[in-house]
Amino acid sequence: MMQYVNEYDTPECKTLSETAKKSIRTPESLGLDRCIQCGACTASCPAARFTDYSPRQIVKRVLENDRSVLESEMIWSCFYCYSCNVRCPRNNSPVTIVQVLRQMAINEGIGVEKLAYFLEIGEYLGENGASKVPGAGISNMERDLGERWIGIKRNLEPIRSELGLSARDVRDTHGEVQAILESTGYFEREKWIKARVQEKRIRGFLKTDRTGTSCTEKKKNSGDLGFESDREYTGQEALTV
């Protein structure tokens, strides 16, 4: 078992479904065993509209105790909107199950590189007592939301003044947030994550073949998870501002 594993978060269980149900993240009312594979979760999922993500397939693989789901890219496409939970007629919560699966994957060193994006948030929070959007996220938002969003960001102070809002205020927390993060072990876990990310990058570099293509790149297997995975990204903008 990896370092920093919380027994309440990822308890030792024989099956994926038992682990999901007994995790501290999971409410007692979870309807996992009542799932009828109706697909309402996938039909209402914004991520499923633009990617191969399917909460229905995730739940199916958990019920079948298919541990290969921990290595699936699908579990990283959910952004926790809880639409699946709201629409489920059996009160199941695929989004909660995904949270448990992600932690299980990270515990085994799978997908840990995906956490690199969020490390900037923790570091900024510790220094300033406030959160922020990582630099990579800003670039993506500029691309997806367009010039109007960029204009709002550049002229935020005058816009706030025009709307009668006070200037943005990042309060001095006198080191309280930093102390909380230290006492809860955040910075130690951050070091562990950075080390794992670096290891993966080095392994990926060493496995690069003669053509310059990384041998660790995964090929897309269309249709391997059912009809949902046969769809291509439509190219439609996710949001227009």
- Cα gap 116→25, rounded to integer Å: 23
- Cα gap 229→212, rounded to integer Å: 28
Most distant CA pair in the chain: distance in Å?
60
DSSP assignment string, 81-124: --HHHHH-TT---HHHHHHHHHHHHHHTTSSGGGGHHHHHHHHH
- Per-residue pLDDT, 223: 33
- Per-residue pLDDT, 138: 81
- Per-residue pLDDT, 4: 56
Say if pTM beats, i.e. exceeds, 0.85.
no
CB 76 within 8 A of CB 115: no
Amino acid identity at 69: V
Neighbours of 78 (CB within 10 A): 24
Low-confidence ranges of the chain (pLDDT < 70): 1-8, 168-171, 207-241
- Per-residue pLDDT, 116: 87
- Per-residue pLDDT, 235: 39
Handedness of CA 118, 119, 120, 124 (dihedral sign): positive
> Does residue 226 come out as left (phi exceeding 0), alpha (psi in the -120 to 50 range) or beta?
left
Amino acid identity at 43: A
- Per-residue pLDDT, 237: 42
Where do the structural domains in the chain lie, given as residue ranges?
A: 16-109+219-230, 114-206
- Cα gap 116→132, rounded to integer Å: 15
CATH code of the domain made up of 16-109+219-230: 1.10.1060
- Per-residue pLDDT, 239: 39
- Per-residue pLDDT, 76: 94
Neighbours of 22 (CB within 10 A): 17
